[in-house]
Amino acid sequence: MALTIRDLSKTYPNGVKALKNLTLSIGNSMFGLVGPNGAGKSSLMRTVATLQDPDSGSITLDGIDVLRQKDEVRRILGYLPQEFGVYPKISALDMLHHLAVMKGMTSSAGRKETVDALLQQTNLWEVRKKALATFSGGMKQRFGIAQALLGNPRLIIVDEPTAGLDPAERNRFLNLLSSLGSDRTVILSTHIVDDVRQLCPRMAIIASGELLLEGAPNDTIAALNGKIWSKVVATDDELRALEKEFHVISTHLVGGQHEVRVYAEASPGNGFRSVDSGLEDVYFLNLSQQSRQQLPN
Amino acid sequence: MALFWEFFTFELKFRFKSLSTYVYFLLWLIFSFLCVASESFGPIGSGNGKILLNSAFANTLDNILAGVFGMIVIAAIFGTSILRDFQRDTYQILFTQPISKFAYLGGRWAGSFLTTVFAFSGMMLGTFLGTFAPWADHTRIAPNHLWIYLQPFLSILVIQIFFLGSVFFAVGALSRKIFIVYLQGVALFVIYLIFITVFSATRSLEHFWSGIFDPIGVVLFNGITRYWTVIEKNTLFFSWSPVLFNGVFLYNRLLWIGVGALSLVSVWALFPMSVEALTARSQGRRAAKAKEQEVADALPVRSVVTARLPRIQQAFTRATTFAQYVSLTRLRLRNIFRDLPFWAIVALLIAFGIASGRLAGHVAEQNVWPVTYLMVQAVEGSALLFLFIVAALYAAELLWRERDAHFDGIHDALPMRESTDWLSRLTAIVIVEFILLAVVMLIGIVMQTSAGYYHYEVLQYFKELYLVTFPQVLTFILLALFVQTVVSNKFVGHAIVIGVFILMPILYSFGWENTLYLIGQVPAYTYSDMNGYGHFVPALFWSIAYWLAISAVLGVASIVLARRGAEDSLRARGRQALRLAPRLAPVAIVFALIAAGAGSWYFYNAHVLNEYLDSKARRDIQADYERNFKQYENLLQPKVTAVDAEINIYPDRRSFDGNIRITLQNKTGQPIPQIHLTDPMRSVTNVKFDRAVHLVSSAPRNIYSIYALDQPLAPGETITLTCDIGHQTRGFRDGNELPEFAYNGTFFDSDYTPYIGYNRNLELDDPRRRREEHLPLLEEMAHRGDPAHSVNNIFPLDSDWITYHTVVSTSPDQIAIAPGYLQREWQANGRRFFEYSMGSTHILDFFSYISARYQIRKETYHGQNGDVALEVDYDPAHTYDVDDMLASSRAGLDYYQRVYSPYQFSQYRIFEFPRYRGFAQSFPNTVPYSEAIGFIERVVKPTDIDFTYFATAHELGHQWWAHQLIGADVEGSNMLAESLAEYSALQVMARKYGRDLMHRYLRHELDGYLQGRSGEIRHEPPLALVQREQYVWYQKGGQILYTLADYIGEDKLNLALHNFLMQYRYANANNQVDARDNTSTSAPIDGPYPDTRMLVDAIRAQTPPELQYLVDDGFNRIVLYDNQAISATSQKTPDGKYKVTLEVQARKVQADGSGAETRVPLADYIEIGVFSGKKDEEKPLYLKKEKFTEEHRTFEILVDQAPTLAGIDPYNKLIDRNADDNMIDVTKQ
């Protein structure tokens, strides 16, 4: 099972270039897609989910031309959009049965078995007869994953599934995702970098429609080992000075003071201390490198 | 105050930056512009051609109509002004500021008010601009004065805006729900429309309270202007005076201003100015929800380790596609059924179905059996609007639902075909419509049952609702689905769909009448119990097939262009279309072929087999006829004196053929060199004369031919014309099917035989249409005594009295009828033949042929002048009124023979014909009687008017008044037939139902007369000079004569009529040669026919001197009274009696033909009376005609019982424009 995305470009009618010659190969595992808002994550995922067409480029999934054989893709697709609403006054049970029929589960016994299992799995069994409209954000999101898993899809696309969830919900949700097994392609987009580190054997960072990095999270973190330096500064003036002098990749507020993280091959000295690199550093480094490239020239 | 100003100006700025404000303004501008600039548009323009298009009257009506349709606009502006803050959540910011309620609400309200007034002021500007349109009819445009625009605008629209706006504002501010705000305008509009329909169906004569409580003004307007004459319509304003119109207008305006003010007060009192209060309700709900979630979230979390999901076989086969379709449809239906609007629609549907079903077929105070066609008409009529609203509404809702619910991301990525998805949407709407139609049918059946009618024709309901109406609704659904697919905004889509719906009748009224381009239309059709859907079926079938196939093509286009996925752009949809096209193109092609086929077949039938004539083309033919041949109107022609015809009717082909032999005699004193023939129905061929002639000219469509006689026809000489006549029905027409020919119920008359000379009755008579055709004003009828016209009779102008013989055949299962006594009946060649002859009895040249399957009821009337065979031939289902018709015939024969003269025939027969035409017509001893007017009547309550009894007596009366005495072709003569038949019937009816009950009937007659003169398009003549004015010769004539009989005595009047009849009947009947060559003794030169002068003289001779004024007023003038009871009190006297003090007022005016009135002095006898008893069943205690010479009089009257009611002219014997105020309740002292 492999998804090959080649030279994908998309410009929206309002002039926004959502995807710029994006090429990406996604294997048979959980694949994390990170990037800031507006990076083109959702555009990419909608394109793979057959909901929009690129201007150019191709996508193939095990020999299926995703852009043309949409129906074949849809049959093996489980899709959880970034935001979705529900019909008022329809229960989770009814809705899942309906969607199961839509996904080709015509035998009612089999359908019942699957739907019940999913309701159990997503911990919605007790509320299965309640109207979806009364669900909390977390419950709705679990319903979303339940519907995406209907029919054992071989391609699962989940777009920002943890946005708006409280930490407990988020953990539960990530557990659920990780239990999906490894014999399928799962694309998870998020801007929470930690999600990816916890879940995904492979990941990609995209920004402004371009691929910045692709690889295994641990490898990319390892590549930065010893190159990330941290310093705590108290005032904005100091911060400004540091920004001019070093390659600042991120700042965090710690107890009202700025903790500045800097990328450098060797110690920048001056009170900097070496810190363990994290996936977040990889992420911010790539983003800042991209914006540096774009700025001066 | 500064803050108020802040909000006010903000609202104004916001509104005047918004395009919609200008769109509304333009909308009203165009509407009112067209009302003046086009005579095919608007209520005034397309109506009576003498009413000024920019009069205050016209502007008032246009303003009221703008108010009806403008409700939605008013709701949109006022309702949203408050809602805006809640939709955009700015209220959180706003209400934490220190602003006063007055500033906030007042500013928003005032801004909305001014904006709306501006938007509607387009009405004034549009009308004003319309008066300058060069193509407008400038004879109908009054000089411009500001006040004729401003007064109606201020008293109608500004107040409507204030009242409705304030109500909508209050509802919007207090509910703060967009759903309610948008729907309230539509809901009120629909409710009002249905209220109007139901109210006008009752034809109530109540105009006071119904006027005051009318919130929009249609009923109010009708109540006030009901009897306005042309001159009043062109000069009067809707005055706010408490005296004029009984103050109805004033009270109405005050009432609704009050309601508006009350709404403002209540919104001011109830609107909470704090965020907390404004969100309290939703906060409560939110809290409840949060609690529920806590409970749900606190449920034990199951281990997530690995519960492997079962591997279920997925299959994508045809069966799956079907299962998807079913599941989608079920889901969508569930969404609809679990929503309040659906049930609100059903509830409204039931309410209005019951309201209109209760009145099914009721006219005035006549009660009818709610036969299925009437019931379907009633319940379907009230439901139709709902069916279309549901179609438009749900088409949009279902197409946008996934998007509106943000479920489209999941939905659109499901493995289903676009066609499956689309078909399920269509199916859901179709099922909803099916359910609504079933509800309609159920209401109909329930209402029939509740009316005690148990003859359920479920099949007819089914046909009408599901086979005729549903396809039209379906076309509309498909159109709406298509529009909503193509446009990217739901509301724009609604506007387009509603626009198409409204545009069709407008196009039709502009003369675009072709079914093939009027979207979704079917040609007019009528169901008849006698004939079912009959010959309308093919045209209906093919037009429905045509439009359904076209909409199916649109349906395929909607699938191909369906929104799927994240992109909405044309390019994205184009790509999808290209992808889907190969699979769906064949379907589209099949439907396109069906559309082309059905359309071609329709076109072939309506335009090739039949000549296609729209109404303008038909008027052109009439105009050309008049232009080219009116010059021959007074050309001397021989008269028809005998007719012998052989007619073969082919009911199954809706055709007939045959030949006719017409004897013509020169009854002038001069030789006649040419014979002219008019053939309006293109039914005459193969014209031959029994002497040498040659054709001089023949007009297109064979409408007029001139034959020159080689030897002129000498005075007294006869000539025989023979020709073939016939009518071939070919295929079907685009509407305008000839009503004469039906599979069951053929009925045509002498229109299909050649007419000698120029036929004036074919002229266009609507002044508006005459102007359009550049014809001069319609020629007035000749004055009484005009020598040329007096020798012709008014009915068939080309004939004197004829003798008549005919043989008529029809298919073996039907009976064929013509005037005359049946000589023999036989079968030959699989056809049934009947021979009828009038023998030597003279009849008017007016005969008809009828053929149908009949049930026959015969009885013999034994009278003083011998037996008369009575016969009613009726549809087997219509047994209700046969006895009533026979009873009326017996009573009429009794009365007429006693007071007028012996009946000239020995049979009197009534034949039912299909309701394509709704009249009864008196041919010699033969009365074709429409199934619509007499055969389903029922008399249950004592107050139900027995119209069948009346109409039967009226038609019988014509056997004297027309078939014995016919007037000359001069003004007034129509009343000799119609008013006298009407009077005769009133007397026969009074003998059965009593004088008290007649009052109810006469009130409707009076109403009919006053309304008739209000709609007069030329000028109203006095009764004795009546020309074409039906309201004068029926309603006024009947009333004048009935009252005269009451005043001078029934015997006296009848004696006058008897004398008149005996002196003048059968004029010119005995100076001619008839079919059997019986020469008469007198010289064959026509003398004059009688006219109204002789009638008036005969009546005068029997009228005492002090009542002679009644004869003058009744016949020679237009006189109206304004009688009114001012006060009535009663006092018990010591001897147990009651002394009533009654103060009354009497006024009398004379009107000219345009309705301009002048007061005339009184020297009149007017009845005053005192009554007692239950309401509406009062019995007179005292009744006396008093002579009035002054306006006010007070009477003291002693009566035996406690009086309840007293007044002047209690029975409305005199013509009074305000008949409601004649009586007053007696107050005790």
pLDDT digits (tens, 9 = 90+) for B441-467: 999 999 999 888 999 999 999 999 999
Contact B415 A111 (CB under 8 A): no
Give the separation between CA B1080 and CA B1082, rounded to whole angstroms: 6
Contact A71 B417 (CB under 8 A): yes
* pLDDT per residue as tens digits for the range B488-505: 778 788 888 888 888 888
Give B 320-339 residues with CB within 8 A of chain A.
Answer: 320, 323-324, 326-328, 330-331, 334-335, 338-339
pLDDT of residue B177 exceeding 90: no
Query: In whole angstroms, how large is the CA radius of gyration of chain A?
Result: 22
DSSP assignments along B733-752, one per residue: -SS---TT--SS-EEEEGGG
B554 touches chain A (CB under 8 A): no
* pLDDT per residue as tens digits for the range B206-258: 778 888 888 888 888 888 888 888 888 888 888 888 877 778 899 999 999 99
Residues B228 and B358 reside in one and the same domain: no
Distance from CA of B340 to the nearest CA of A (A): 12
The pLDDT of A212-222, averaged and rounded, is 87
Question: Which chain B residues are within 8 Å of A98, Cβ to Cβ?
Answer: 327-328, 330-331
Contact A89 B338 (CB under 8 A): yes
Q: For residue B935, which of B1006, B867, B852, B868 has the smallest C-alpha distance?
A: B852
Question: Which chain A residues are within 8 Å of B314, Cβ to Cβ?
Answer: 75, 103-105, 151-152
B412 touches chain A (CB under 8 A): yes
- Tell me the range of B294-303, B373-382, B867-876 where mean pLDDT is highest: B867-876
The pLDDT of B942-962, averaged and rounded, is 91
pLDDT of residue A282 exceeding 70: yes
pLDDT of residue A296 exceeding 50: no
Q: Is B1029 exposed, middle or buried (0-12, 13-18, 19+ CB in 10 A)?
A: buried
* pLDDT per residue as tens digits for the range B530-567: 999 999 999 999 999 999 999 999 999 999 998 888 88
Q: For residue B1168, which of B1197, B1129, B1189 has the smallest C-alpha distance?
A: B1197
Contact B415 A89 (CB under 8 A): no
pLDDT of residue B796 exceeding 90: no
Helix (H) or strand (E) holding B590: helix B570-603
Helix (H) or strand (E) holding B848: strand B848-852
Residue in chain B closest to A110 (alpha carbons) equals: B312
Is residue B1036 included in any domain, yes or no? no
The predicted pLDDT at position A269 comes to 77
Which pair of structure tokens corresponds to residue B697?
A: 């000219």
* pLDDT per residue as tens digits for the range B1154-1178: 888 999 999 999 999 999 988 777 8
Residue in chain A closest to B327 (alpha carbons) equals: A98
* pLDDT per residue as tens digits for the range A238-256: 888 888 888 888 888 887 7
| Contact status, residue B975 vs residue B1024, Cβ threshold 8 Å | yes
Contact B312 A113 (CB under 8 A): yes
Contact B414 A68 (CB under 8 A): no
* pLDDT per residue as tens digits for the range B707-756: 999 999 999 899 999 999 999 999 999 988 999 999 999 999 999 999 99
The values of phi and psi at residue A69, to 5°, are: -90, 60
Q: Name the DSSP class of B466.
A: I
Q: How many CB pairs under 8 A join A and B?
A: 161
Q: Is the dihedral of CA B867, B868, B873, B877 positive or negative?
A: negative
Residue A297's pLDDT band, with cuts at 50, 70 and 90, is very low
The predicted pLDDT at position B87 comes to 65
CATH number for the domain running over A222-294: 3.30.70
Residue B284's pLDDT band, with cuts at 50, 70 and 90, is low
The predicted pLDDT at position B77 comes to 84
Residue in chain B closest to A166 (alpha carbons) equals: B297
| More confident call, B3 vs B199 | B3
Residue B293's pLDDT band, with cuts at 50, 70 and 90, is low
Write the CATH number for B834.
2.60.40.1730
Domain count along chain B: 4
Tell me what ipTM this predicted complex has: 0.92
| Contact status, residue B847 vs residue B643, Cβ threshold 8 Å | yes
| Contact status, residue A99 vs residue A74, Cβ threshold 8 Å | no
Give the separation between CA B1190 and CA B1170, rounded to whole angstroms: 21
| More confident call, B274 vs B191 | B191
Contacts of B577 (CB under 8 A, 6+ apart): B560, B561
Give the separation between CA A161 and CA A142, rounded to whole angstroms: 9
Residues B395 and B507 reside in one and the same domain: yes
Residues B660 and B578 reside in one and the same domain: no
Is residue B463 included in any domain, yes or no? yes
Neighbours of A88 (CB within 10 A): 13
| Contact status, residue B806 vs residue B1105, Cβ threshold 8 Å | no
* pLDDT per residue as tens digits for the range B564-579: 888 877 888 888 888 8
The predicted pLDDT at position B1194 comes to 95
Q: Is B376 exposed, middle or buried (0-12, 13-18, 19+ CB in 10 A)?
A: buried
Q: Name the DSSP class of B204.
A: -
| More confident call, A98 vs B133 | A98
Helix (H) or strand (E) holding A116: helix A108-121
Q: How many CA atoms lie within 13 A of B1099 on its CB side?
A: 27
Q: How many CA atoms lie within 13 A of B801 on its CB side?
A: 27
Residues B336 and B211 reside in one and the same domain: no
Q: For residue B217, which of B364, B352, B66, B48 has the smallest C-alpha distance?
A: B66
Is residue B1070 included in any domain, yes or no? no
The pLDDT of B83-92, averaged and rounded, is 69
Average pLDDT, chain B: 89
| More confident call, B387 vs A257 | B387
The predicted pLDDT at position B227 comes to 83
Strands ordered across the beta sheet of B655-665: B684-689, B718-727, B655-665, B639-650, B799-810, B831-837, B821-828
Alpha helices, DSSP H, located in B738-837? 767-772, 787-790
Give the separation between CA B966 and CA B924, rounded to whole angstroms: 13
The pLDDT of B92-100, averaged and rounded, is 71
Give the separation between CA B850 and CA B1129, rounded to whole angstroms: 61
* pLDDT per residue as tens digits for the range B629-672: 999 999 999 999 999 999 999 999 999 999 999 999 999 989 99
Residue in chain A closest to B330 (alpha carbons) equals: A98
Helix (H) or strand (E) holding B1223: strand B1223-1225
* Domain end call among B932, B961, B990: B961
The predicted pLDDT at position B308 comes to 62
- B830 conformational bin, left if phi > 0, alpha if psi -120 to 50, beta if neither: left
The predicted pLDDT at position B626 comes to 96
| Contact status, residue A37 vs residue A191, Cβ threshold 8 Å | yes
The values of phi and psi at residue B450, to 5°, are: -70, -20
The pLDDT of B696-711, averaged and rounded, is 94
Give the separation between CA A265 and CA A282, rounded to whole angstroms: 14
Q: Is B921 exposed, middle or buried (0-12, 13-18, 19+ CB in 10 A)?
A: middle
Is residue B1100 included in any domain, yes or no? no
Which pair of structure tokens corresponds to residue B243?
A: 């005296």
DSSP assignments along B614-663, one per residue: -HHHHHHHHHHHHHHHGGGTT---PEEEEEEEEEEEEGGGTEEEEEEEEE
Give the separation between CA B964 and CA B988, rounded to whole angstroms: 19
The predicted pLDDT at position B915 comes to 93
The values of phi and psi at residue B568, to 5°, are: -115, -5
Which pair of structure tokens corresponds to residue B148?
A: 């004729």
Residue in chain A closest to B325 (alpha carbons) equals: A102
Give the separation between CA B818 and CA B749, rounded to whole angstroms: 9
Residue B1074's pLDDT band, with cuts at 50, 70 and 90, is low
B1201 touches chain A (CB under 8 A): no
Measured between CB atoms, which of B289, B415, B416 is closest to A134? B289
- What contacts 24+ positions apart, CB below 8 Å, involve A71-76? A71/B415, A71/B417, A73/A49, A73/A155, A74/A50, A74/B413, A74/B414, A74/B415, A74/B416, A75/A103, A75/A104, A75/B314, A75/B316, A75/B415, A76/A153, A76/A154, A76/A155
Give the separation between CA B766 and CA B775, rounded to whole angstroms: 11
The predicted pLDDT at position B306 comes to 47
Write the CATH number for B1152.
2.60.40
% of chain B with per-residue pLDDT over 70: 94
- Confidence (pTM): 0.86
Which one of B289, B338, B414 would you mutate to disrupt binding with A, by most A Cβ within 10 Å of its Cβ?
A: B414
The predicted pLDDT at position B286 comes to 55
Strands B1124-1132 and B1227-1228: parallel
The values of phi and psi at residue B219, to 5°, are: -70, -40
Is residue B1089 included in any domain, yes or no? no
Question: Which chain A residues are within 8 Å of B292, Cβ to Cβ?
Answer: 134
pLDDT of residue B894 exceeding 90: yes
pLDDT of residue B203 exceeding 70: no
Give B 378-407 residues with CB within 8 A of chain A.
Answer: 401, 405-407
Residue in chain B closest to A106 (alpha carbons) equals: B320
Range of the domain at B1176: 1117-1229
- A270 conformational bin, left if phi > 0, alpha if psi -120 to 50, beta if neither: left
pLDDT of residue A293 exceeding 80: no
Contact A111 B565 (CB under 8 A): no
Give the separation between CA B724 and CA B769, rounded to whole angstroms: 34
* Residue B555, CA distances (Å) to A287, B329, B585 in order: 49, 17, 12
The predicted pLDDT at position A167 comes to 79
The predicted pLDDT at position B1073 comes to 63
Helix (H) or strand (E) holding B756: strand B755-756
Q: Where along chain A do its domains lie? A: 3-215, 222-294
The predicted pLDDT at position B277 comes to 62
* Encoded amino acid at B624, one letter: D
Is residue B308 included in any domain, yes or no? no
Q: For B1006-1067, what is the HEC assignment? A: HHHHHHHHHCCCCCCCCHHHCCCCHHHHHHHHHHHHHHHHHHHCHHHHHHHHHHHHHHHCCC
Bridge partners for B1198 per DSSP: B1139
Give the separation between CA B439 and CA B345, rounded to whole angstroms: 11
Q: How many CA atoms lie within 13 A of B307 on its CB side?
A: 16
Coarse DSSP helix, strand, coil percentages of chain B, rounded to the nearest 5 percent: 50, 15, 30
Residue B474's pLDDT band, with cuts at 50, 70 and 90, is very high
Q: Where are the beta strands (DSSP E) in B132-253?
A: none
The pLDDT of B840-844, averaged and rounded, is 88
Q: Is B313 exposed, middle or buried (0-12, 13-18, 19+ CB in 10 A)?
A: exposed
Residue B621's pLDDT band, with cuts at 50, 70 and 90, is very high
The values of phi and psi at residue B691, to 5°, are: -150, 170
Question: Which chain A residues are within 8 Å of B488, Cβ to Cβ?
Answer: none
The predicted pLDDT at position B363 comes to 66
Residues B218 and B70 reside in one and the same domain: yes
CATH architecture observed for domain A3-215: 3-Layer(aba) Sandwich (3.40)
pLDDT of residue B299 exceeding 60: no
Residues B525 and B670 reside in one and the same domain: no
